[in-house]
Structure 1
């Protein structure tokens, strides 16, 4: 397979990657907004505390924008191959290098923040501030806490004893969202969910970055491969006396075969 044909195969993969990004960009909001929208009066509080929905929404816009850019870039590179224009390929390779650099930089920053848990203090602060308001403004704040306890299978911030602290009592009927079995209330320790919500909320927030990080890795690999193929084609053109287009490369590779 000659260089031009190999590049066309990689460009087809790149186009499929762009189409998948657009499809995911359209689909992701439908997977995340339905559950919070059901919590009337508490949806905004939930979204404020649980930043995963904001991450998914941002990822949606990135996927849509970058997916369209990938498709446009694919069309331009195919056009360069058709008209056999070396100069345009050089500029497109520079664009690919810039795109790869931005993606690798973004992925590195996000990965560092996740591994070092730099998002943890802000999430913990929001969760605690909501939790301590439960005794005073029960409707909105309690609904939000119940939502987290049902979604993440947890109780309290660190554990169920947080309810004892805010209500200043060791003899409590814990809310149904804290119960391991479906009851209106539970009192026994073995009926209460043992895990607190903070750790699980943090894991959920970190997990919301997975689609973006996977897209960064896949996109970087494809673009690096395409950039390498373009570089090889340009180098072959430069070795041809007076070589200004790709026609000579195609002829030489056809003769070699």
Structure 2
């Protein structure tokens, strides 16, 4: 059991969860995530680490089903938290002077720790942050603190910039474009980055379900080879991700019939095992 320090709603159906876990807090690197179980019988859910402070781990999650709903009602302890999992952000091993982040919805959460680390290195960090309406904007204080130029885009008329995030992506001598959010948004950003001849990095957090390599939800083709976001990522070089096959597979995975079909045709590659052994 792990003690909850805070579990508060910061936007409609979006929560900040702070849990005490010194081991995870001391080993976390930007880009990594945790797997949480609210109760002993709960499903496992992968959650983005937004920041660590002392022995506390802060995560951002959106209520999208029963397990996250159950989590939103917890105020004392959660049953389990495992991590940090996944590989650290790719950008941490790259040389860069100016980086553009393109985030959608709660995809802003994993962006923050990357920007924090890059700012320590003197990197200029700009942000384009998209959402349906301005009421969905979260972590505004951190955005103001860690980004140099910020464009907030809404689909309605509640912000100064209206439309899609891709409407505002421009080549301003960026070394990298990093995008985190809905898969279709990331696909469009990568395509635009290719047109601008700027290398891109994507985070596949949104397609993970189990987070430990067992469910097969995050299987994708990367550079023509089968990878699993929770084991091999969650970040990948954008131009090497086969988004078309990924989106088609995601649609099939939504139904029981579709999952059974994928299990049949994918065989031993349907999932990544435990994530700790050779495939």
TM-score normalised to structure 1 length = 0.24
> Which has more radius of gyration?
1
Indicate the structure whose relative CO is greater, using CA pairs within 8 Å and at least 6 residues apart: 1
Structure number with the higher strand fraction is 2
